[in-house]
Amino acid sequence: MINCKTNQFLEDLHHYVPGQSIADIKQKYQLNQVVKLASNENPLGPSVVLDEIKESIDAERYPDTTGLALRQALASQLTISPDNIVCGNGSDELMTMLSQVFLNSTKSIVTADCTFSVYEFVASTCGAKTIKVPLQDNTYDLGAILDAVDDTTSLVFIANPNNPTGTLCSHNEIELFLEKLPSNVVLVLDEAYIEFANESVRPLASQLLHKYPNLIVLRTFSKLYGLAAYRLGYAMANAELIQLINKVKPPFNVNSMAYEAGVKALEKSEFIKKSLHVNEKGKQRLYQFFNELELNYEASEANFIYVELNRSARDFCNECLKHGLILRPLTSFGRPNAIRVTIGTESDLDFFETVFKSVWKV
Amino acid sequence: MINCKTNQFLEDLHHYVPGQSIADIKQKYQLNQVVKLASNENPLGPSVVLDEIKESIDAERYPDTTGLALRQALASQLTISPDNIVCGNGSDELMTMLSQVFLNSTKSIVTADCTFSVYEFVASTCGAKTIKVPLQDNTYDLGAILDAVDDTTSLVFIANPNNPTGTLCSHNEIELFLEKLPSNVVLVLDEAYIEFANESVRPLASQLLHKYPNLIVLRTFSKLYGLAAYRLGYAMANAELIQLINKVKPPFNVNSMAYEAGVKALEKSEFIKKSLHVNEKGKQRLYQFFNELELNYEASEANFIYVELNRSARDFCNECLKHGLILRPLTSFGRPNAIRVTIGTESDLDFFETVFKSVWKV
């Protein structure tokens, strides 16, 4: 029995519940075909394969500390400076680093009550409190979030589009929010899915960050670019805020393959176009499918759809698993009767519709 | 100007100084040949190349959360259980997780005054104090470390072999230390270089951890296995302590390539044998070289040698850089007149001796 005193807040820590893996479900139910629409991965596969980068990797060498080549490529695409960018081992790690810079047991964060759970997780690892503001019409209620900000608030986390509801706050809404947000509170705008959102409405991060030194925008290569296995994310902000993160950044936090693949991925305009096209087509098809079943869903600005089943999502998803379909019940998000479906390819959705219908009717 | 209040301890944070890269030095000094003996990487290259693992990587999928296959392979090799193991994004990340579990601004760590700087770094990111005990004869002074432990101490960090001096505490010394260490203090035994150390003397971690629930041993694939670019380390401890780390472990902290390569690397007995042989041969050659120059060095149990120059190491290393030789001055370790030389291949050492001699004489 270990009797070293651990940090007290560990006891309240809610761990993230990951999606189940295809291999596990194949083995468990002895299935040949399993379709996973549970983790919002790119159904077309990765934008970059290992063959494209293997020549440039010195696997025995430590990675570049700051990922300069990737920061330069990103900077030129985003028309900002490399000094406005820091890379992370997935955007999750950037959230951890933000918590190390700004949070402790006397601080708190404000976010929504039904959103990505890692915000609360990283706050908890520092002993900070999480204030959860209810969504309004499945959308971040920016007014109520402002009201919830108090003297202890250091960070506000907004997932935009929101995971799991797929709803978006527009450029104007975010700018208005930043105008009203006390300047000693940092807005962490998590844009993991932003590339899927309506271009005419979504925030222009690169414009906003020159105006608001308390804004930091997080992006990932795990979704549109299909590189979840590599672990690569980045943050954009005022150079001063980036410097603060660099203070706590571990020296070799991102692996060399991720840096190389990231640079290559930015050049894959055809892959990106195709991914967006497949997503749009699949979205319309799923809307129609849920309409036919008279199920309530949320119009999505991302690569997944939030659907209300009016029955136990856990039970429904467990039944689907037996047929080789992995979906995400939103029980851990506080919505026990709702699921999140990643938008798949045409053949993924053929399979999805068949399994869904048969389980739905049982 | 950002006016969000950051954690105070950020101001005292000393950042890790990484070794310079071959590409940078080639470009800076317009050189064709550059030899890097500064970061204790494997001079034979990686034990596993990307071609060997590419078929098993679904790059668009998130990695396995806990790296079960690798933990199983390690467990069978170490004759412990997979529940005694947790993997990290390099062993650095395991140090960060330990700090999240045990440290805060009322706590402290104890370590040596001339050792791997990441111990102090991770303590600082939690606001914890670092008590530094002077080395004795370039070796961890275990008695003095015990004396330095007080009511605020949560963690003791021992690099074994020590980086940068290459000295080893034996199995018996570590066991005696654990006998005397208060059971509410955790010993973090960093065995990054242990595979290079004398087998008959070095600690048998797997034996000790069943007896001492307050022992945690860190290992890495970055050194002997030549996989620094992948970022992969692991911790071994009592299952209860591993569970505490799992509480703060981010869900997808290790990339899929690292997990796959780790499993493959454990099978490379020929590569390992050859690496150890090259290291032993190079070590003897370097001893002789330093003897001829009448330089004091420390007998090494690792893949590097600590050498005292009796002149500015920074200046000497800067001169060597101009000739394409990257060495590590130990200025940031508090030894401004000493360097650390990674033991290279025969041709690396030919180059090393030529450059070293010519700069030494100037």
Q: Which of A21, A62, A260 to mutate to test the interface with B (most CBs of B within 10 A)?
A: A62
Specify the 3-state DSSP secondary structure of B194: helix
Quote the pLDDT of residue A321.
97
The residue of chain A nearest to residue B186, with distances taken between CA atoms, is A4
Round the average pLDDT of chain A to a whole number and report it: 96
Whole-angstrom distance between the N-terminal and C-terminal Cα of chain A? Answer: 48
User: Closest by alpha carbon to A116, among A173, A180, A40?
Assistant: A40
The residue of chain A nearest to residue B248, with distances taken between CA atoms, is A125
Quote the pLDDT of residue A362.
73
Q: What is the pLDDT of residues B119-145, one digit of tens each?
A: 999 999 999 999 999 999 999 999 999
Specify the 3-state DSSP secondary structure of B106: coil
> What CATH number has the domain bearing residue A216?
3.40.640.10
**Which residues of chain A are within 8 Å of residue B50 when distances are taken between CB atoms?**
50, 53-54, 57, 59, 257
Quote the pLDDT of residue A5.
86
Q: Are residues A289 and A255 in the same domain?
A: no
Q: Are residues B259 and B274 in the same domain?
A: no
Residue A3 lies in a domain: no
The residue of chain B nearest to residue A121, with distances taken between CA atoms, is B248
Quote the pLDDT of residue B267.
97
Provide the domain limits for residue B285.
8-46+269-361
Q: Write the ipTM.
A: 0.96
The token pair at B240 is: 């209860």
CB-based contact (8 Å) between B34 and chain A? no
* pLDDT confidence band for A102 (50 / 70 / 90): very high
Q: Are residues B87 and B225 in the same domain?
A: yes
Alpha-carbon dihedral angle through residues B1, B6, B9, B15, given to the nearest 10 degrees: -60
The token pair at B342 is: 């990674």
- Chain A nearest-CA distance from B308, in A, is 26
Q: What is the pLDDT of residues A173-210, one digit of tens each?
A: 999 999 999 999 999 999 999 999 999 999 999 899 99
CB-based contact (8 Å) between A362 and chain B? no
Q: Do B89 and A65 touch (CB under 8 A)?
A: no
Q: How far apart are CA B112 and CA B164, in angstroms?
A: 11
**From A9-13, B110-114, B174-178, B316-320, the region with the lowest mean pLDDT:** A9-13
Quote the pLDDT of residue A275.
98
**From A112-116, B16-20, B44-48, B159-163, the region with the lowest mean pLDDT:** B16-20
Where is pLDDT greater, at A16 or B44?
Answer: B44
Per-residue pLDDT for B17 more than 80? no
Residue B176 lies in a domain: yes
Residue A119 lies in a domain: yes
Residue A16 lies in a domain: yes
Q: Do B61 and A228 touch (CB under 8 A)?
A: yes
Cβ atoms of A31 and A21 within 8 Å: the answer is: no
Neighbours of B293 (CB within 10 A): 15
Q: Are residues B307 and B214 in the same domain?
A: no
Quote the pLDDT of residue A81.
97
Quote the pLDDT of residue A1.
66
Cβ atoms of A156 and A109 within 8 Å: the answer is: yes
DSSP assignments along A180-246, one per residue = HS-TTSEEEEE-TTGGGS-TTTS--HHHHHHH-TTEEEEEESSSTT--GGG--EEEEE-HHHHHHHH
Quote the pLDDT of residue A109.
98
Residue A212 lies in a domain: yes
Per-residue pLDDT for B150 more than 80? yes
- Chain A nearest-CA distance from B224, in A, is 10
- Averaged over B192-210, what is the pLDDT? 95
Angle between helix A346-361 and helix A269-292 axes, rounded to 10 deg = 20
| Phi, then psi, of B222 in degrees rounded to 5 | -85, -20
Residue A1 lies in a domain: no
Q: How far apart are CA B362 and CA B360, in angstroms?
A: 6
Residue A2 lies in a domain: no
- Averaged over B259-283, what is the pLDDT? 98
In chain B, where do the E strands start and end? 35-36, 85-88, 108-112, 129-133, 153-159, 186-190, 215-220, 233-237, 296-297, 304-308, 325-326, 328-329, 338-342
- Chain A nearest-CA distance from B233, in A, is 12
> What CATH number has the domain bearing residue A281?
3.90.1150.10
**Domain final position from A265, A291, A307:** A265
The token pair at A173 is: 């809404």
- Averaged over B207-230, what is the pLDDT? 97
Q: Are residues A313 and A300 in the same domain?
A: yes
Number of H helices, E strands in chain A: 13, 13
Tell the burial category of B13 from Cβ atoms under 10 Å away from its Cβ (0-12, 13-18, 19+).
Answer: middle
Q: Are residues B133 and B198 in the same domain?
A: yes
Quote the pLDDT of residue A14.
72
Q: Are residues B332 and B356 in the same domain?
A: yes
Q: Are residues A275 and A336 in the same domain?
A: yes
A180 Cα distance to chain centroid: 25
The residue of chain B nearest to residue A68, with distances taken between CA atoms, is B24
Q: Are residues A203 and A61 in the same domain?
A: yes
Q: What is the pLDDT of residues A297-335, one digit of tens each?
A: 999 999 999 999 999 999 999 999 999 999 999 999 999
**Which residues of chain B are within 8 Å of residue A240 when distances are taken between CB atoms?**
1-2
The pLDDT > 90 percentage for chain B reads 93
Per the confidence metrics, is the pTM higher than 0.90? yes
Query: Which chain A residues in 83-122 lie under 8 Å from chain B, judged by CB atoms?
Result: 89-90, 92-93, 96, 100-105, 118, 121
Cβ atoms of A7 and B101 within 8 Å: the answer is: yes
- Chain B nearest-CA distance from A362, in A, is 31
User: Closest by alpha carbon to A321, among A333, A329, A331?
Assistant: A329
Domain count, chain B: 2
Q: Are residues B72 and B172 in the same domain?
A: yes
* pLDDT confidence band for B1 (50 / 70 / 90): low
Per-residue pLDDT for B116 more than 90? yes
The pLDDT > 90 percentage for chain A reads 93
Alpha-carbon dihedral angle through residues B291, B309, B132, A1, given to the nearest 10 degrees: -40
Residue B233 lies in a domain: yes
Cβ atoms of B343 and B279 within 8 Å: the answer is: yes
Q: Are residues A244 and A280 in the same domain?
A: no
**Which residues of chain A are within 8 Å of residue B274 when distances are taken between CB atoms?**
none
**Domain final position from B266, B299, B317:** B266
Q: Are residues A76 and A182 in the same domain?
A: yes
Cβ atoms of A43 and A348 within 8 Å: the answer is: yes
Quote the pLDDT of residue A2.
74
Q: Write the CB contacts of A275 (distance below 8 Å, at least 6 apart in sequence).
A: A42, A44, A47, A224, A226
Q: What is the pLDDT of residues A242-301, one digit of tens each?
A: 999 999 999 999 999 999 999 999 999 999 999 999 999 999 999 999 999 999 999 999
**Domain final position from B266, B295, B316:** B266
Element (H, E) at B292: helix B269-292
User: Closest by alpha carbon to B282, among B90, B35, B49?
Assistant: B35
DSSP assignments along A292-334, one per residue = HTT-EE---SSSEEEEE-SS-HHHHHHHHHHTTEE-EE-GGGT
* pLDDT confidence band for A92 (50 / 70 / 90): very high
Query: Which chain B residues in 311-350 lie under 8 Å from chain A, judged by CB atoms?
Result: none
Round the average pLDDT of chain B to a whole number and report it: 96
Of B45, B93, B241, the CB nearest to A250: B93
